[in-house]
Amino acid sequence: MSNKPLEWIPSLYLGEALPFTAVMIVSVIMFKEFGLSDEQITLYTGWMGLPWVIKPIWSPIIDNIKTKRWWILSMQFLMGITLALVAFTIPTSFWLQGTLAIFMIIAFASATHDISADGFYIIGLKDKEQELYVGLRNTFYRIGMIIGQGGLVMLAGWLQNDVFEGDSSVQMSWSAIFLILGGLMGLLGLYHTIVLPNVEKTTHESFNFHIQVKEFVETLKVFATKPNIISALCFILLFRLPEGLLTKIVPLFLTRSTEEGGLAMSNVDYGFISGTLGVIGLLLGGIIGGWAVSKWSLKKCLWPLVLCITLPDVVYVYLSYFPTDNLYVIGSCLCVEQIGYGLGFAAYTLYLVTFSRGERSTAVFSICTAGQYLGGVMYPGMISGYISTNVGYPMFFNIVMLFCLVTFAVTAAVYRKL
């Protein structure tokens, strides 16, 4: 077993990101190619965020049965199998119902993996190490997302254009993509059986329902009695609201036809831009953000990093009012936005880690991330398609910029308490 953080932090958070990306982002592009509307896509895939919202309900089980290492490995192998199963469901007559059902299973497994991985990070590293590596973990989490929405989407486009032929080329290409995703998760599971250290001394083997209910209630009490809980809760729920609105709409805006108000990018172009300039911007932002917080403290860096995560969203306002097919212009806009995101999200994650320290840190952190998904992923994702369909892409992106004021307000509330 390895006790070197650099050997397992990057791969662990890569494994955390891949299934999430498959369920919440890659599926958006796939369903668009299968003919669903923006409103249908965001509603269906928005519901997939439910497991991340309710995961605190079963987080005490992970704290009290087996070890977090065991849960990590088990969920990675399970997700490898179910991702591959999606590939065999796509060509069937019940593809929509089937893929949605399997995606929900993957989502529950992924949420369980998140609880285990984040708890492993907290108990496996000292406080100073957590600060030092927060930029690295966020960077590789986002790289995992880029592999999905960038590299694999690009590969799907290439398969459709140059490998598969006929009316079934779209189905066959996406089946191949999910077979690849399943294989990647299986390989990560094998790798982590070797490198993940044993950071817990005891392995719990029993389960008692009444004890688990008591554990959950006690965790809620610990969370509810944290200092400055009201301002912290508002920050956790609402900080990512603008990003939550953008997450599902940006890929649709970039790839929809010009007649539909989009930029008409092909999957190959979209994947290439996301996988090159997007990665460069993300790496710079994530690493610099984590380093800055480690060097100067969260309080000193908070406002500059908040401005970095919000103001660059204006690039989508520009692209919607002045559409272009120039990949250099589009790529530059995405790169700027990704740099800002990497910078700001480092501060946000460290706030959650700092807030969760102390008694029942793993379970408390799972409540924090559940609130993050509810306010920053699930709910805004579900309504984003309805908004964009009714007001159009230009006005939608203006509304996103308006919601940045919410991010500023909740930041101001917690800044005074740091």
Token look-up 């593809």 returns: 95
User: Is residue 314 one of the residues assigned to a domain?
Assistant: yes
CB within 8 Å of 66: residues ≥ 6 apart: 203, 204, 205
CA 361 to chain centre: 21
Dist. CA 237–CA 73, nearest whole Å: 30
Report pLDDT for 202.
Answer: 62
Give the range of the structural domain holding residue 310, as residue numbers without chain letter: 5-195+215-415
- Give 203-228 pLDDT, tens digit per residue: 555 556 677 778 778 888 999 999 88
For residue 171, give the amino acid letter.
Q
Report pLDDT for 287.
Answer: 82
| 221 backbone dihedrals φ, ψ, rounded to 5° | -65, -45
Token look-up 């987080």 returns: 59
User: Is residue 270 one of the residues assigned to a domain?
Assistant: yes
User: Is residue 310 one of the residues assigned to a domain?
Assistant: yes
Dist. CA 264–CA 266, nearest whole Å: 6
User: Is residue 208 one of the residues assigned to a domain?
Assistant: no
- Give 94-146 pLDDT, tens digit per residue: 999 999 999 999 999 999 998 889 888 888 787 777 777 877 887 788 788 88
Helical axes 277-296 vs 327-356, angle rounded to 10°: 30
Give me the residues of the chain with pLDDT under 70, please: 1-3, 201-209
Q: Which of 264, 358, 276, 342 is nearest to 309 (CA)?
A: 342
| Structural domain total, the chain | 1
Q: Which H or E run contains 257?
A: none
Q: What percent of the chain has pLDDT over 70?
A: 97
Dist. CA 327–CA 263, nearest whole Å: 10
- Strand, coil or helix: what is 92? coil
Judged on CB neighbours under 10 Å (0-12, 13-18, 19+), 7 is middle
Report pLDDT for 101.
Answer: 95
Which CATH number characterizes residue 341's domain?
Answer: 1.20.1250.20
Using CA atoms, how far residue 154 sits from 114, 255, 274, 294, 399, in Å, is 27, 12, 9, 36, 30
Q: What is the pTM of this model?
A: 0.83
Report pLDDT for 1.
Answer: 46
User: Is residue 205 one of the residues assigned to a domain?
Assistant: no
- Torsional sign, CA 371, 308, 356, 69: positive
User: Is residue 325 one of the residues assigned to a domain?
Assistant: yes
User: Is residue 207 one of the residues assigned to a domain?
Assistant: no
- Give 238-265 pLDDT, tens digit per residue: 999 999 999 899 999 999 999 999 999 9
Which pair of tokens denotes residue 344? 């700001």
User: Is residue 152 one of the residues assigned to a domain?
Assistant: yes
